[in-house]
Amino acid sequence: QFYKLLLGVSGISVEKNITLDSATRIELSCRLDDKHFHFKSVQVTWKRGNETIRHINKTENSWSIQLTILDNSKLGSYNCTLKGEQELSAVFHLQVPKIEGKEKAIVSYEGDTAVMICKSSGHTPIAWTWYMTNGSEQIAINDSLLADKYAINRMSANVTHLKISKLTKEDGGVYWCEAAFELGKSKGKLKLKVLSIMVPLKPFLAIVVEAVILVAIVFLCEMYSKKRAKRA
């Protein structure tokens, strides 16, 4: 697989995200924009962190490196820096697929059932694992041991569902879905908020109280009016 970035603006680093889920061989290339072809002397450096990587000069204005990605130790950011009349740079970010969770909190009520969903678009995980947060720890959810509480369903190769039944206040919090790929693992974050059944009733109860008070005021006013009438 071949990936290329075009360098053209001094002081601005162009970036490219590359998603990889399995072992592969790739080539990364930096190429000067046409307006910089007049550079007479260019010093090119490829680095991953502090590690300098030897490049292959394919053409007069293009510099490449070849990588064999067998595990996640080769993932990360690869920087290409060109120093000539100006300094130009580019960064390739090699990463495992990102997992799609839900940004907004899932809201449900005590006694109800909540369903959380995670997706991996375009890439198929080897396995899925769900975790719940307990303080600073992440505890794996074993639905076979707590079948009456949790149910994990792999709806398709790229989608997983976690169903939590008989919700209590203690079920609220942060949950994680983890997808395992050949090159590493990736997590998605979801938040569950469990409310008391009294929460949706509060506005109704407030209206009822207001109505009772209003009726009581009207009744007292009528009684007072009748008493005044009798006295008169």
The enclosing domain of 43 has a CATH number of 2.60.40.10
Residues 32-49, mean pLDDT to the nearest whole number: 76
Encoded tokens for 131:
């975790």
pTM of the shown model: 0.75
Q: What is the pLDDT of residue 157?
A: 85
Classify strands 127-134 and 137-140 as parallel, antiparallel or unpaired: antiparallel
Domain housing 70: 2-95
Is the pLDDT at 37 greater than 80? The verdict is no
Q: Are residues 28 and 109 in the same domain?
A: no
One-letter amino acid at 124 equals T
Which range is least confidently modeled, 8-12, 89-93, 114-118?
8-12
232 inside domain: no
Please give the mean pLDDT across all residues of the chain.
85
Statement: residue 104 has pLDDT above 90: no
155 pLDDT band, cuts 50/70/90, is confident
The contacts of residue 115 (CB under 8 Å, 6+ apart) are: 161, 162, 163, 164
| Domain boundary residue, one of 55, 70, 95 | 95
- pLDDT for residue 76: 95
Which CB contacts under 8 angstroms, 24+ apart, belong to 47-54? 47/78, 47/79, 47/81, 48/76, 48/77, 48/78, 48/79, 49/76, 49/77, 53/78
- Read off the pLDDT band of 201 (50, 70, 90): low
Domains of the chain: total = 2
